[in-house]
Structure 1
């Protein structure tokens, strides 16, 4: 005995494909080591430094970079979906983590780096292709010698908040 519903679901699936490319992330990291955070993001915005692979993987863009504040934009597509037909929470988390971390990075001098210590995300509303473009806005709340705190909001085109996040970052200085 077979499950007709399952057979129909399996045979009616249309395969979709996606291809993309990226630059060597270690070359980009080498460039970043010789620039302040703001210099790095300015060079990336001008196309002098390739974006990190995650931007191409999830198909989002760096929109603006100011000292202590960044924006990333994503237009939801099917490949962002979870099994229930909306954008996967991991996509939200990645956008928000990028916005928090990069906001901190814009405040760092040459040779100083960061890594995320934690990320707390609150999902407030679903996002789908019909939602249209969403924007992650990240800003630095506190920058200390060893740690930083940043926050980010994920907004739809109407300015409604879809998700929020806070992140603590470890600041790594030469000689530490």
Structure 2
């Protein structure tokens, strides 16, 4: 069973934190989810690079979207481990999420953010608890 991201779900997402960040769905299937973000001044920290909270949120959202795609229901993040590798700047960013491990009650996934040149900015693993 997989969740279809129809217009109603996407409209709700746009009214939530997803929309505040400016995320957009590129693709979603059971093997991979990709979301895009056009990083602007509002996404930067005081050092002029994309804030780590934005990057972490992108990865968390992509992994959560993959959970919903695979399981047909939304999960809740119980663990998020992030490594920042290269500074990301204004421009196009793409986050990709991949499944790693699944049990009856949890899913563990991996995500990464790259810029338009393909530079790897950060990676994360996350575990999501599934509702009963």
Does TM, scored on the shorter chain, surpass 0.5? yes
Secondary structure of the structure 2 residue equivalent to 1:38: coil
Task: Give the count of matched residue pairs.
Answer: 129
Please say which structure displays the higher CA radius of gyration. Answer: 1
Aligned to 2:104: 145
* Greater relative contact order structure (CA < 8 Å, 6+ sep): 2
TM-score by length of 1: 0.68
Aligned to 2:82: 121
Kept in 2: contact 1:38–1:67 (CA 8 A): no
| Root-mean-square deviation over aligned CA pairs | 1.5
Q: List alignment gaps of at least 5 residues for structure 1.
A: 1-35
Aligned to 1:38: 3
Q: What's the CA shift string for 1:30-52, capped at 9, x where partnerless? A: xxxxxx6422x2x1xxx343141
Q: List alignment gaps of at least 5 residues for structure 2.
A: none
Tell me how far apart the structure 2 counterparts of residues 100 and 77 of structure 1 sit (CA, whole Å): 23
Match of 1:164 among 114, 123, 132: 123
Match of 1:134 among 73, 93, 108: 93
Residues 54 and 169 of structure 1, relative CA distance in 2, 3 Å threshold: same
Tell me how far apart the structure 2 counterparts of residues 149 and 55 of structure 1 sit (CA, whole Å): 21
**Which structure has greater strand proportion?**
2
